[in-house]
Amino acid sequence: MPALLNTASVMMCPHGGTVQAVTSNTRAQGGGAFLLRASDTYVVAGCPFVLGVVPHPCVQVQWVQPAARSKATGDFALTESSVGLCVAADQAVQGTALIVMTQPLVAGL
């Protein structure tokens, strides 16, 4: 089973920008931090992507495949196998989010 993502998980856009999770979950924890859900907000900072000569950075992540069964406070949780699309300000998809590190203690489907 893949590990669940929490607020201590490290995620990046495919261009090296850092993904910051903003969650309203203050109840369900896993591995010592609050679990992340598909409905939370994910902001990308520091994406250096340039389209031609125009900066076109990733600004947020939209999760399209959360956990199939695991929920945290009524919404589907995210796991290492979840798929998130990094998008620019104009909603253009620029690649998938990279999950660099997460807690290994709690898993889910």
pLDDT per residue as tens digits for the range 55-102:
999 999 999 999 999 999 999 999 999 999 999 999 999 999 999 999
Residue 63 lies in a domain: yes
- Residue 79, CA distances (Å) to 32, 36, 49, 94, 98 in order: 16, 9, 26, 21, 12
Q: Where are the alpha helices (DSSP H) in 1-109?
A: none
Q: Please report the pLDDT score of residue 80 as a whole number.
A: 96
Based on its alpha-carbon atoms, the radius of gyration of the chain, rounded to whole angstroms, reads 14
The whole domain housing 46 covers 10-99
Residue 43 lies in a domain: yes
Amino acid identity, position 17: G
Q: How much is the pTM? A: 0.93
Q: Is the pLDDT of residue 19 over 90?
A: yes
Of the listed ranges 7-11, 36-40, 71-75, 97-101, the least confidently predicted one is 71-75
**Structural domain count of the chain:** 1
Q: Is the pLDDT of residue 32 over 90?
A: yes
Alpha carbon distance, N-terminus to C-terminus of the chain: 6
